[in-house]
Amino acid sequence: MNLRLISSAALLSLTMATNSHVAQAIPIQLTETQFSAGIDGLITVVDDFQSYSPGIKSNPFTFANGTFTTNALHPVVLGSGFCGASSILDQCLLVNDEVTDVRTFDALPARTVYWGVDMHYINPADTINVTVTGRSGVLNVQTVGSYFYGFFDSSGLTSIVINNLGVVFTNGHGWSNYSFDNITTASSVPEPGILLLICTGLFGLLVVRIKAFS
């Protein structure tokens, strides 16, 4: 086979492998059904906090799916308090006008492309801001009283910041509570077809090099 042809084929294989998935412009928000369907077949970790002892935790708090950080006005609490549940994270958080109630999830597992969480004890009238940062961009969403949040970025997710503004009245924000449970991450794995293309490209380049020195 012509050396130039082999070289071109090798480079084409590597290019196809690199560009086989074109990332969307920014992370996207998913419904619970879409999230469940999307993570099927991926490497998935679900942290329900059943294995942790109740009480005050360090800030930031490291768990199976990453790191959880609160602002300075609230401790990290797990499995204790007046909400009655024994396996939820940062339960019964109080928010009002004077509190910037920010919760950050980061240090996610390698190649995390899906992230989801169940919300408990949340007022259905609460206004919640979420900032999702991925390698393809940043998504800002505002919802009212959501019980599930799920996000996807084919290029990888790096952090999720949640800010509960509470109930918005004409004269400001009211008090509210909320907690996190069943934090789920799903990591991408190289597809067999992609690995084959990469191997083909590398083999082609090796043949070119051998021919050049023969």
Q: What is the predicted pLDDT for the residue at 172? A: 57
The domain limits of the chain are: 1-20+191-214, 24-190
**pLDDT string in tens for the chain (214-residue length):** 454 444 444 444 444 444 444 445 699 999 999 999 999 999 999 999 988 988 889 999 999 999 999 886 778 888 865 566 678 898 666 555 455 678 999 999 999 999 999 998 888 888 889 999 999 999 999 999 889 999 999 999 999 999 887 776 655 555 667 889 999 999 987 555 444 445 555 555 555 556 656 6
User: Of 154, 140, 156, 146, whose CA–CA distance to 123 is shortest?
Assistant: 146
Q: What is the predicted pLDDT for the residue at 8? A: 41
pTM to 2 decimal places: 0.75
Q: What is the predicted pLDDT for the residue at 159? A: 98
Residue listed under structure tokens 């308090």:
81
Q: What is the predicted pLDDT for the residue at 33? A: 97
Domain covering 24-190 in this structure, CATH number: 2.60.120
Beta bridge partners of 179: 120
Helices (H) and strands (E) in the chain, counts: 3, 14
213: phi then psi, degrees, rounded to nearest 5: -100, 5
The residues near 145 (Cβ < 8 Å, ≥ 6 apart) are 122, 123, 124, 125, 126, 128
Q: What is the predicted pLDDT for the residue at 182? A: 95
Q: What is the DSSP string of 85-147?
A: -SS-BS-S--B-TT---EEEEESPPTTEEEEEEEEES--TTEEEEEEEEETTEEEEEEEES-S
Cis peptide before 60 (omega within 30 of 0): yes
Q: What is the predicted pLDDT for the residue at 180? A: 92
Can you tell me the distance from the alpha carbon of 165 to that of 115, in angstroms, rounded to the nearest whole number? 22
